[in-house]
Chains A and B, each alone.
Chain A
Amino acid sequence: MSILVGKDTRLLVQGITGDAGKRHALACREYGSNVVGGVTPGRGGTDVEGIPVFDTVADAVQKTGANATMIFVPPPFAADAVYEAVDARIPLLVVITEGIPAVDEVKMKRAVRDAGLRMVGPNCPGVITPGECKVGIMPGYIHKPGKVGLVSRSGTLTYEAVWQLTNLGLGQSTCVGIGGDPVIGTTFLDALHLFNEDPGTEAILMIGEIGGSAEEEAAAYVKAQVRKPVAAFIAGATAPPGRRMGHAGAIISGGKGTAAEKKEALRAAGIAVADSPADMGATLASVYKPARKASVVVGKPASKRPAPPARKPAPAARKAAAKPVATKQAPARKAAAKASSARKPAAKKKAPAKRR
């Protein structure tokens, strides 16, 4: 099992004819995601390597039954793209676009929330349920199906964490990049809640950074509600105060939002906190011992490794061969796939295009 996206996700791509939109729509399809259509106003009736393009989101939803949308529309038009998706009542909006004005983000968030829908991002790498569905720009092959839920404000640092988990033989249920902006759709708290409720997630790794107090709020929730093992890393212990560290939301202001504060709050909630980014995976492993359905096979030949989506297994496999921790995963993976075919993903809330 997993959260947000899975086998039943029918993905729309807004901004599909732009450079990034096209590249990632195709990469998601190649990973195995069901990309049912794209939207670019004025390009309706054409297609992107077989993916039909529509002029409006309403049209696209009506014709394809899309239940999730991945938005690549540039900042000046991104808010409008979100409103269009909200109007079409798409249950899940994943906004990849970086550089959206905060005032727009505040309005987007309100619109999504008022409509009872869910947004991930903006300024995020997206969401992936390994082996099932990728909705985002992350390299798919570093992931591996499993039971660790990962939530992070970052992009590449998330890939780093995923890679560490995969190399330790710890697969992921779903990885959610929530984005680095000050106002985002899905917060740590939201993601933790989903993971806590998800029977397919047994442990949680959260990657935070300086700025704001979302990690502290998450810590309070973990302390009160979460009985699954949780590990964390907070980036920015060395960041100077008052400076925006790349992400619009990564700033220590008025002495608040420091890494030290956040780590303390997390530790006080019983969360295992890694001080080094090299130890994100290991820290999770220190608190989470998965019940292995399959025996651990030391030095298993690389070729027997579960091909995380088949196309680029080479680097991962090579690494696995070098490290004697590869786990035989095939049965678990099959089970996961079986379970997921029975589940209803985020789309369950409302039938698409009901109102139209």
Chain B
Amino acid sequence: MKLHEFQAKALFAEAGLPVPRGRPATSPEDAAKAFAELGGPLAVVKAQIHAGGRGKAGGVKLVRSADEAKAVAASLLGKPLVTKQTGPGGTVVRRVLVEEGLPLDRELYAAVLLDRKLEAPILMASAQGGMEIEEVAAKDPKAIVKETIDARVGLLPFQARRMAFRLGLGKDLVNKAAAVLTGLVKVFLARDASLVEVNPLVTTKDGRVVCLDGKVTVDDNGLFRQATVNGMRDLDEEDPTERRAKDAGLSYIKLDGNIGCLVNGAGLAMATMDLVKLHGGEPANFLDVGGGATTEQVTDAFRIILEDPAVKGILVNIFGGILRCDVLAEGVVAATKAVGLKVPLVVRLEGTNVEKGREILRSSGLAIVPATDLTDAAQKIVEAVS
């Protein structure tokens, strides 16, 4: 789950990390008020959307008066902001963050993330803040410094110090930077984050180290023990269909094709999409009904697939293990009747209780096309939609 910048910074502040003073605003008037509250000559108005690349897209602006803050907020709020991460339609800005301007000295980069190869979290930093880290990695990989973290103890003091020195900080700033780096790792571990990123992490002319930006993504598997983070979920940022699927216990991702896929198991679901494509079709979605799907879940799955107007046919591919084929077949029949299926439906069943399942489909009187194996299933559904 992704968090907004202002939410990430709230977590930082709670952990004692230095962040600029400021608050979110949802209307131009409120933004003007927030500017006044800061009491300074300079502030920054930042669009709050989950996608990155806001600065280059015009979503971050310096303002020097309450009126200017109001005008900038008015130009952003309620309108889509298109960044290179949002896709062509952009994401509607519903909030801006109004923050004090700081006398910046240097811009650094710091992030904590899981390194899958090392099977451990790592702290990664660079003296070239403000740039995207992928860009730095491509141009000058040596500019990136890393520390591997033992998740059981967190970042050790010597590691934090070493990294601060490697970033070229003088001894007056090393301890401050080390404290920030240690804090970022603490946030990562305590919040079940999969990413904590600060770009830029700045030093100021008055000798401070401040998290000027903040990006936090939380591991969905950790949400059960993250009440604060759960309260930060922004439903407006989620695709409504994907949200409904999630609430129904289904894993669904919309794609651009016209063949709806209903599969049990994530690996088989991906493989089914690949198969459809290989036979000249285009999958409309990824959908994993999971291991122990019920009739209700199968019905929900059909409804969700059919909400996509592009869907011209559905392929059900089930290898029954925990989920028995007869249960699935009953679900398919009930769902087909409930939603009044109008598009071709190809069903391929294999595994536990497969004969019972096939018999249920056969005797249902519904126009369900049975498939004998994977290739047969793919050919039949591709033919049916073309």
Q: With a CB–CB cut-off of 8 A, which chain A residues contact B266? A: 154-155, 180, 209, 245-247, 250
Q: With a CB–CB cut-off of 8 A, which chain A residues contact B322? A: 137
Q: How far is the CB of A13 from chain B (nearest CB, A)?
A: 16
Interface of B is mostly: mixed
Whether a CB of chain B sits under 8 angstroms from the CB of A314 is: yes
Whether a CB of chain B sits under 8 angstroms from the CB of A101 is: yes
Residue contact B277 to A237, C-beta cutoff 8 Å: yes
Q: How long is the Cα–Cα vector from A106 to B120 in the complex, in angstroms? A: 6
Write the A230-258 contact mask toward B (1 if CB under 8 angstroms, else 0).
Answer: 00010111111001111111100010000
Whether a CB of chain A sits under 8 angstroms from the CB of B200 is: no
Binds A, one of B26-34, B218-226, B329-337: B218-226
Residue contact B321 to A278, C-beta cutoff 8 Å: no
Write the A74-96 contact mask toward B (1 if CB under 8 angstroms, else 0).
Answer: 01100000000000000000000
Whether a CB of chain B sits under 8 angstroms from the CB of A294 is: no
Q: How far is the CB of A60 from chain B (nearest CB, A)?
A: 25
Q: With a CB–CB cut-off of 8 A, which chain A residues contact B276? A: 238
> Contacts A246-B251, A315-B354: A236 and B375 contacting too (C-beta < 8 A)?
no
Residue contact B274 to A107, C-beta cutoff 8 Å: no
Q: With a CB–CB cut-off of 8 A, which chain B residues contact A76? A: 224-225
Please, which residue of chain A has its CB at the minimum distance from the CB of B378?
Answer: A278
Q: How long is the Cα–Cα vector from A314 to B117 in the complex, in angstroms? A: 43
Binds B, one of A3-11, A35-43, A157-165, A283-291: A157-165
Q: How long is the Cα–Cα vector from A154 to B192 in the complex, in angstroms? A: 24
Q: How long is the Cα–Cα vector from A244 to B218 in the complex, in angstroms? A: 13
Q: With a CB–CB cut-off of 8 A, which chain B residues contact A160? A: 268, 271, 319, 350, 374
> Contacts A156-B268, A210-B270: A163 and B375 contacting too (C-beta < 8 A)?
no
Q: With a CB–CB cut-off of 8 A, which chain A residues contact B114? A: 102, 106, 182-183
> Contacts A160-B268, A212-B116: A142 and B351 contacting too (C-beta < 8 A)?
yes
Residue contact B274 to A277, C-beta cutoff 8 Å: yes
Residue contact A276 to B274, C-beta cutoff 8 Å: yes
Residue contact A156 to B321, C-beta cutoff 8 Å: yes
> Contacts A236-B274, A239-B270, A278-B275: A75 and B321 contacting too (C-beta < 8 A)?
no
Q: How long is the Cα–Cα vector from A131 to B114 in the complex, in angstroms? A: 39
Write the B196-221 contact mask toward A (1 if CB under 8 angstroms, else 0).
Answer: 00000000000000000000000111
Q: With a CB–CB cut-off of 8 A, which chain A residues contact B221? A: 75, 99-102, 248
Whether a CB of chain A sits under 8 angstroms from the CB of B343 is: no
Binds A, one of B66-74, B97-105, B283-291: B283-291
Residue contact B267 to A102, C-beta cutoff 8 Å: no
Residue contact B375 to A278, C-beta cutoff 8 Å: yes
Partner of B283, one of A209, A233, A238: A238
Q: How long is the Cα–Cα vector from A102 to B150 in the complex, in angstroms? A: 13
Whether a CB of chain B sits under 8 angstroms from the CB of A264 is: no
Q: How long is the Cα–Cα vector from A106 to B322 in the complex, in angstroms? A: 28
CB neighbors of B among A255-305 (8 A): 259, 275-278
Q: Sort chain A's interface into a size bin.
A: 35 or more
Residue contact B119 to A246, C-beta cutoff 8 Å: no
Q: How long is the Cα–Cα vector from A100 to B224 in the complex, in angstroms? A: 10
Q: With a CB–CB cut-off of 8 A, which chain A residues contact B288? A: 246
Q: Sort chain B's interface into a size bin.
A: 35 or more
Residue contact A138 to B321, C-beta cutoff 8 Å: yes
> Contacts A245-B253, A245-B286: A235 and B222 contacting too (C-beta < 8 A)?
no
Q: How long is the Cα–Cα vector from A163 to B319 in the complex, in angstroms? A: 10
Whether a CB of chain A sits under 8 angstroms from the CB of B121 is: yes
Q: How far is the CB of B6 from chain A (nearest CB, A)?
A: 23
Q: How long is the Cα–Cα vector from A181 to B208 in the complex, in angstroms? A: 39
Residue contact A106 to B119, C-beta cutoff 8 Å: yes
Q: How far is the CB of A71 from chain B (nearest CB, A)?
A: 16
Residue contact B375 to A276, C-beta cutoff 8 Å: yes
Whether a CB of chain B sits under 8 angstroms from the CB of A207 is: yes
Q: How long is the Cα–Cα vector from A180 to B373 in the complex, in angstroms? A: 25
Q: How far is the CB of A98 from chain B (nearest CB, A)?
A: 8
Residue contact B272 to A277, C-beta cutoff 8 Å: yes
CB neighbors of A among B87-132 (8 A): 114, 116-117, 119-121
Interface centre among A103, A156, A239, A247 (most CB of B within 10 A): A156
Q: How far is the CB of A177 from chain B (nearest CB, A)?
A: 10
Whether a CB of chain B sits under 8 angstroms from the CB of A308 is: no
Q: With a CB–CB cut-off of 8 A, which chain A residues contact B253? A: 240, 243, 245
Q: How far is the CB of B302 from chain A (nearest CB, A)?
A: 18
CB neighbors of A among B131-186 (8 A): 134, 150-152
> Contacts A160-B350, A246-B266: A137 and B274 contacting too (C-beta < 8 A)?
no
Residue contact B320 to A209, C-beta cutoff 8 Å: no
Q: How far is the CB of A18 from chain B (nearest CB, A)?
A: 13
Residue contact A102 to B219, C-beta cutoff 8 Å: yes
> Contacts A101-B219, A180-B267: A155 and B374 contacting too (C-beta < 8 A)?
no
Q: With a CB–CB cut-off of 8 A, which chain B residues contact A153? A: 267
Please, which residue of chain A has its CB at the minimum distance from the CB of B277?
Answer: A238
Whether a CB of chain B sits under 8 angstroms from the CB of A144 is: no
Q: How far is the CB of B219 from chain A (nearest CB, A)?
A: 5
Whether a CB of chain A sits under 8 angstroms from the CB of B264 is: yes
Q: How far is the CB of B149 from chain A (nearest CB, A)?
A: 9
Residue contact B270 to A236, C-beta cutoff 8 Å: yes
Residue contact B267 to A155, C-beta cutoff 8 Å: yes
Write the A105-147 contact mask toward B (1 if CB under 8 angstroms, else 0).
Answer: 0110110000000000000010000000000011100100000
Interface centre among B116, B121, B263, B264 (most CB of A within 10 A): B116
Residue contact B265 to A103, C-beta cutoff 8 Å: no
Whether a CB of chain B sits under 8 angstroms from the CB of A341 is: no
Residue contact B355 to A315, C-beta cutoff 8 Å: yes
Q: With a CB–CB cut-off of 8 A, which chain A residues contact B277? A: 237-238
Please, which residue of chain B has its CB at the minimum distance from the CB of A27?
Answer: B322
Q: With a CB–CB cut-off of 8 A, which chain B residues contact A156? A: 263-265, 267-268, 319, 321
Please, which residue of chain B has its CB at the minimum distance from the CB of A167?
Answer: B373
Residue contact A276 to B222, C-beta cutoff 8 Å: no
> Contacts A152-B267, A235-B274, A254-B134: A240 and B151 contacting too (C-beta < 8 A)?
no
Please, which residue of chain A has its CB at the minimum distance from the CB of B218?
Answer: A101
Q: How far is the CB of B92 from chain A (nearest CB, A)?
A: 20
30 contacts between A and B (CB under 8 A): A76-B225, A101-B219, A101-B225, A110-B120, A110-B151, A137-B291, A157-B267, A159-B321, A159-B351, A182-B114, A209-B267, A212-B117, A213-B117, A235-B267, A235-B274, A237-B274, A238-B270, A238-B276, A246-B266, A246-B270, A247-B266, A247-B267, A248-B220, A250-B270, A276-B375, A278-B275, A278-B373, A312-B352, A315-B351, A315-B354
Which 6 pairs, one residue from A and one from B, show the smallest C-beta to C-beta distance? A154-B267, A246-B266, A156-B265, A157-B267, A277-B271, A278-B374
Given A238-B255, A277-B274, 8 new contacts (CB under 8 A): A101-B225, A103-B121, A139-B321, A156-B319, A157-B271, A238-B276, A259-B274, A278-B375
